[in-house]
Structure 1
Amino acid sequence: MLFFLLYNTYKLKNQHYALEERAVLDHEYQRYISNDKLFPGGAKILDKYVYRNIGEFERLHKTDKVKFDSLRRRFCDTAFAALREANSVDSLLQVIKKKHNIERELHYALQARLLEVKFDNNQYVTIFDYREPESPSPLIGGTLKDINSQNLITALTVSAASNYSYRFSFSLNADTPNRFITILRQMMPAFALALFSILSVVIIYYITFRNWLRQKKLSEMKSDFINSITHEFHTPLAAIIVANKTLSRISASDNISPLTEVINRQAERLKKLIAQTLDITTLNKVTLQKETHSLHALLDEILLDYRLKLTGTNVQLSLVKAAVKDETQVDQFWFTTVVLNILDNAIKYNDQSYKEIQVSTLNDKKNIILRIADNGVGMNAETQRMIFEKFYRREPQVSVGLGLGLFYVKQAIDAHNWKISVESTPGAGSVFIITIPIL
């Protein structure tokens, strides 16, 4: 982007370089050659050579094209040599520069462009065209090498309406010999600003990268610590669970059995909390294993297992499959995590005596719309903005948790490049809406 800015600045300055001087040169040059060609006295020289040969041009043009072309070349060589010898543009430019106090050094190029003769049929015949591959050098005078539209002073065409006359086009270009260097000097402020911008970006990048390395090191230390702690927790916890199962099998006492059930429930709860803590450091490193699945088939499987958990509860869980197209690319494990976490929240944040959860699907033109609606406590606007943040727990806190469930949901949704939104009113339940592209 910065390169294009500098390049366009150069082009603009190049186009407008010495604009006022070009206007002065154009005006004065045309004034000095009024009713003349190329330079004062140039018309007389050109007239002599043209009118001396025009009869022969006409005869050969009608009878012998090969000899006509040969005559054209000899004519251009002779006439242009005479014009070069008589060229007075050097002294003319010196007079113009002195008159208008132009101090910069100027190189010029005076060129013939086109010479055509007309016989008695009102049609012009080309004698010289500088664009032809084998045409003689068009340069009549000057030493300017880089001839282009930016340094063109004037281009003129002179003609006569009568028969046996000619039409002649020529141009004058003028420029300083060090145009490129001069423009670069004029652009020094722009170069300085560009250099300052680049240095600023490099410094900011360096500072950002250094801070990122520090944050990465802290994150790795935190991950190592959590991995170590969870490993140490799992060892005695596994022993407790195994010992409790053995105790429950061999004990027939009514007093011991309730205690073993309490131990089992709390051990499983602690196991889940440790797993959630470990997931904090590993979730962002998960690589999705996407496969083509029927979303309806996945939902049937997930809800079948979840209903076993709801046996004997006051929760009604239903599935409405209204989508006609339901195949998509999905990671089954993380999709299951998304649905289960939303279902857990629908039950957790629900104080109704009869809890209802409806899972439904429908299609728009390109997507499957998955809706999970409940009749729970609902959410205000502030809560809706925060529910996907890590460790956020909304009030009232109806159960113990780490505030990671919906954070996991959002991470999994983003990893799939899906979209999720929430519609909720306090006291009237919530609807989680997931937009999933179909195949």
Structure 2
Amino acid sequence: MKVKDNPKVYQWVLVLSSVALACMVTFLVFNTYKLKDERFHAFQKESMISAYGQYVKNEKLFPGGNKLFAEHFEKQLPFLLSIEDQALFDTTRDSIVNAFLGQLRQHHNFDTLFQRILIDQQLDRDFVYKLTFDRLEIIKNPDRGWIPIYQVKADDPQAGIAGTLRKISNNNRALQLSINNNQGAEYRFTYSLFVDRPNRVSQVLQDMSLVLFFSVACILLTILINYRTFQNWVNQRKETQLKNDFIQHIRHEFNTPITTIVVAARSLYDMPFARANEKEVKETSAIIERQGMRLRFYVKQILMSITLEEQKPDFLLSDINELTAVLLCDIALRFEDKISITYKKADQAYPVWVDSLLYLCILDNLIENAYKFNKEKNKHVHLFWQVTDADVLRLCIQDNGEGISADDLNYIFQKFYRSKKAQSRSGLGLGLYYSYLCASKMNWEIVVADAPKKGTSMEIIIPTKN
């Protein structure tokens, strides 16, 4: 099977291209989010760091921090350095560090300091912070260098000294400082200050609202364009196939009567005059007449397809109830005993603006279909009125034929459309199209209604107020 003739290949190309586009846009949006997240409140952070540096000059962590370090850590450090036993050293170290961190958490004044910074720098008051103690090192033996006695671990609750910020990361870290103390006891420590809003993610997404909107719009618009393009391609492919089938069909339909007429005419020409009799001449003439009428019908349909679309209705206010009866009498003469046509007239007159020729075309084509697609021995079509709305009339047309399959319902009014049932019968696929076109010109509608038991039920919907 050729790729160009397989719609499923195009469907998969459409789906995969749409997914690829969505993935690419998602990747770009995600990287934009990461960049925004890294630089979120960068200016405010710089202002806070500058102000914080001014407030804690010559202090550790916060104003009054030097005193806490001196009383609760520096006094205990000589004793810790004098311990030689490693097990005792580890126990004492943990005890001193935990007590020291507990004093920092209990006696800090960072809440007041942080609020003062926000006010002085004219920053939003909804910022929150987290002050963490990350690392503490001492020198026990100069040859061995710095020995860590405290190292923060991930999600360690002991690391927090002050603040209510829950989620901390490198993106909301405002500063990380390492401080060396060379006055008396040698030690150094590292601490971090994290600053952020409680709703950081929603704030970042809000800043990206335009990016998100245009990204989603781009994806949806591209998918819509691809889908519409695919649908147009499918419809054009179907129309091309219908046109090709129509050309093949009309070639056959025209060739058959023409060949029959030629053969019949040749038979008359070759028939010896002395042997000619009235019966043979009549039979041959009847063949020519039937095929000539068949050919004329096809030519008429082709000409109608050209002229009917440009024709303007010639409206006349008429009693649609009585006009229907008159037109059905004319149609019944054409079908003679081929199909039984019954009509139940309404009890009153219905004045409607109508073009009688267009109305005749509608009824004629619908009744012809009722006859053509009917295998019953006693073919029958019944017409009657239904009035469910004061402004709308419904002419119901029911037959006892084969009915319309669900697969064909969406296409029966299309030009040149022929269902599978119609392939074995003569015709050009124009009858219902003409009926639909004539109805539209008069602002009417033709719909397929549910058949009661079998056959087809059509309705002509006629507005009484045009």
- Tell me the TM-score normalized by structure 1: 0.48
